[in-house]
């Protein structure tokens, strides 16, 4: 499962290509040193190469756009593209189209497709080797032999932000004893209100294997409320609604109903609004005039679905509709995550590189597959694929045509274009870090571990390859306009 980059960087002999990068960095550093701030002092050059204070502001990039507020795709076109994505992309699931009865073969295929039993050494959070017997036990906890030949399809709504796991376990495992970030059993996360198919139960009774619209994996049962298929699928279609447009917001604290108190809602989450709530009637002990009265799913004592009112503060970053898909909104939404800690598989309450770009576009109503491996090749997205046969000149030509919002993929990583500086593309991405060549000609590793803004051209994957040499795909979320046919002779 590819989500981020983690190359090891060492001192090496610098190739001719690296020398060109070094010259670029020297020139860029000189330009930055020559420019000054409002007080006449040189701008601060920050840890990431070539980045100064101005680059950390969304307004810097928006001001440079020729048509920042141009609507790139109308809502009807976005809806059509989303429907096409669900219909054609094998990484997505149309829950409404699933049969009323599930076969053993189908459920088994979903579970086994997710992962094979662990192979090779794994280490726990304390850096100790995980005994083979423990790994075997968690594999058995999948209870594959207990999958019935046929079973009715059951559904539920996720009630809090919750982890999706490779196996039915909360054991965190790592590839090396000194790694504490990349939990190899962490797949993704689901947000409040996500509909899921409840496909199978673990042997210990603590976990569901669920199929969500963008992912199939294990989730703790306590985070899901089971309900009737019709009710579950209809909840997300209710109107009116609010779209979360901030990186994260919380519902209002309430001791009267803990299940809807300080519920975390991430960018792009859609929640129904109870517009007919009586104006003077309190919500969980509080007058609602300073908030939106929204409806959230709650897990009852029996595990069943209940719907409860909650308060979303009016000052919280939300909107009554999806944001228009414009270059300015792409930039501003992306910058709301700037500095957030990198979270492999949405761990640490954050997100990873593919989750980051997904949530930015989701606030504008645009659907993307979950992982880089699926996003970069999706049959329903406009893209330019690269192979080893593509020359450096061809890759450079493609890079020169990048526009704001375009997604650039290398193996295991995605970057979003935010603009150019002196004709060179810059990207915002959720990254562990990258390599680059210093002006002295030394290849070094910059550890960022968060959502960061960087130039694209100097980024180096290793001692011989720049990121542009590793590009596998450029995805244009907004399809390129078809070229006009030449006039007849």
- 32-41 in b/e burial notation, b at 16+ Cβ within 10 A? beeeeeeeee
d(CA 144, CA 54): 55
8 confidence band (pLDDT: 50, 70, 90)? very low
The per-residue b/e assignment along 421-451, b for 16 or more CB within 10 angstroms, e otherwise, is: beebbbbbbbbbbbbbbeeeeebeebebebb
Given this model, what pLDDT does residue 16 score?
A: 41
Taking residues 275-285, report their average pLDDT: 94
* Alpha carbons 434 and 431: distance in angstroms, whole number: 8
Which tens digits make up the pLDDT trace of 121-175?
A: 999 999 999 999 999 999 999 999 999 999 999 999 999 999 999 999 999 999 9
Which tokens in the block code for residue 390?
A: 């593509």
The string of pLDDT tens digits covering residues 462-486 is: 777 889 999 999 999 999 876 555 5
At residue 274 the predicted structure's pLDDT band, cuts being 50, 70 and 90, is very high
pLDDT > 90 in the chain, percent: 81
Distance of alpha carbon 146 from alpha carbon 128, whole angstroms: 32
Report phi then psi at 56, rounded to 5: -85, 5
Q: Give the pLDDT of residue 280.
A: 87
Please tell me the predicted confidence (pLDDT) of residue 442: 74
pLDDT computed for residue 195 by the predictor: 98
**Rounded to whole angstroms, how far apart are CA atoms 387 and 370?**
23
Distance of CA 164 to the CA centre of its chain: 14
Q: Is residue 240 reached through a cis peptide bond, with omega within 30 degrees of 0 on the bond before it?
A: yes
| Nearest CA among 248, 104, 95 for reference residue 157 | 95
| Rounded Cα gap, residues 315 and 293, in angstroms | 13
- Sheet strands (E) in 137-253: 150-152, 154-158, 162-165, 186-190, 195-201, 207-211, 216-220, 224-227, 241-244, 248-250
pLDDT at 431 over 80: yes
Q: Is 255 left (phi over 0), alpha (psi -120 to 50) or beta?
A: alpha
What is the chain's length? 489
**Tens digits of residue pLDDT in 174-210:** 999 999 899 999 999 999 999 999 999 999 999 999 9
Tell me the pLDDT tens digit for each residue of 65-94: 999 999 999 999 999 999 999 999 999 999
Would you say residue 361 has pLDDT above 80?
yes
End-to-end alpha carbon distance in the chain = 52
Enter the pTM of the model.
Answer: 0.89
């Amino acid at each position: 499962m590819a989500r981020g980059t983690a190359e090891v960087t060492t001192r090496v002999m610098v190739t001719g290509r690296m020398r060109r990068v070094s010259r670029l960095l020297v020139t860029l550093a000189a330009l930055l040193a020559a420019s000054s701030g409002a007080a006449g002092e040189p701008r601060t050059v920050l840890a990431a190469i070539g980045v100064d204070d101005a680059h950390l502001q969304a307004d810097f990039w928006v001001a440079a756009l020729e048509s920042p507020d141009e609507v790139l795709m109308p809502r009807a076109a976005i809806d059509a593209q989303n429907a096409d994505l669900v219909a054609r992309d094998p990484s997505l699931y149309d829950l409404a189209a699933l049969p009323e009865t599930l076969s053993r073969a189908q459920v088994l295929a979903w579970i086994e497709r997710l992962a094979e039993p662990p192979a090779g050494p794994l280490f726990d959070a304390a850096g100790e080797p995980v005994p083979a017997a423990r790994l075997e036990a968690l594999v058995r906890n999948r209870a594959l032999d207990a999958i019935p030949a046929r079973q009715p399809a059951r559904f539920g709504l996720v009630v809090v932000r919750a982890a999706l796991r490779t196996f039915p376990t909360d054991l965190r495992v790592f590839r090396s004893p000194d790694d504490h970030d990349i939990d190899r059993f962490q797949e993704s996360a689901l947000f409040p209100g996500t509909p899921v198919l409840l496909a199978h139960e673990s042997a210990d009774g603590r976990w569901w294997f669920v199929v969500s619209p963008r992912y199939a994996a294990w989730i703790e049962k306590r985070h899901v409320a089971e309900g009737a298929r019709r009710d579950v699928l209809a909840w997300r279609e209710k109107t009116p609604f609010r779209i979360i447009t901030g990186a994260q917001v919380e519902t209002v604290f309430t001791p009267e109903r803990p299940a809807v108190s300080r519920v975390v809602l991430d960018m792009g989450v859609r929640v129904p609004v109870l517009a007919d709530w009586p104006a003077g009637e309190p919500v969980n002990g509080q007058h609602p005039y300073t908030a939106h009265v929204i409806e959230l799913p709650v897990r009852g004592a029996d595990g069943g679905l209940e719907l409860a009112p909650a308060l979303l503060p009016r000052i919280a970053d939300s909107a009554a509709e999806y944001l228009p898909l414009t270059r300015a909104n792409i930039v501003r939404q992306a910058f709301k995550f700037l500095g957030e800690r990198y979270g492999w598989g949405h761990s640490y309450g954050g997100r990873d590189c593919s989750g980051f770009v997904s949530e930015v576009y989701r606030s504008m109503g645009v659907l993307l597959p979950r992982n880089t491996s699926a996003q970069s090749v999706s049959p329903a997205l406009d893209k330019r694929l690269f192979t080893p046969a593509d020359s450096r000149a061809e890759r450079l030509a493609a890079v020169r045509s990048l526009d704001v919002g375009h997604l650039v993929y290398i193996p295991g990583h995605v970057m979003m274009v935010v603009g150019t500086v002196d004709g060179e593309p810059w990207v915002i991405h959720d990254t562990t870090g990258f390599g680059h060549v210093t002006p002295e000609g030394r290849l070094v590793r910059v550890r960022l571990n968060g959502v960061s803004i960087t130039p694209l051209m100097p980024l180096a994957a290793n001692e011989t390859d720049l990121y542009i040499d590793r590009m596998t795909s450029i995805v244009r979320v907004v399809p390129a306009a078809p070229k006009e046919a030449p006039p007849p002779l």
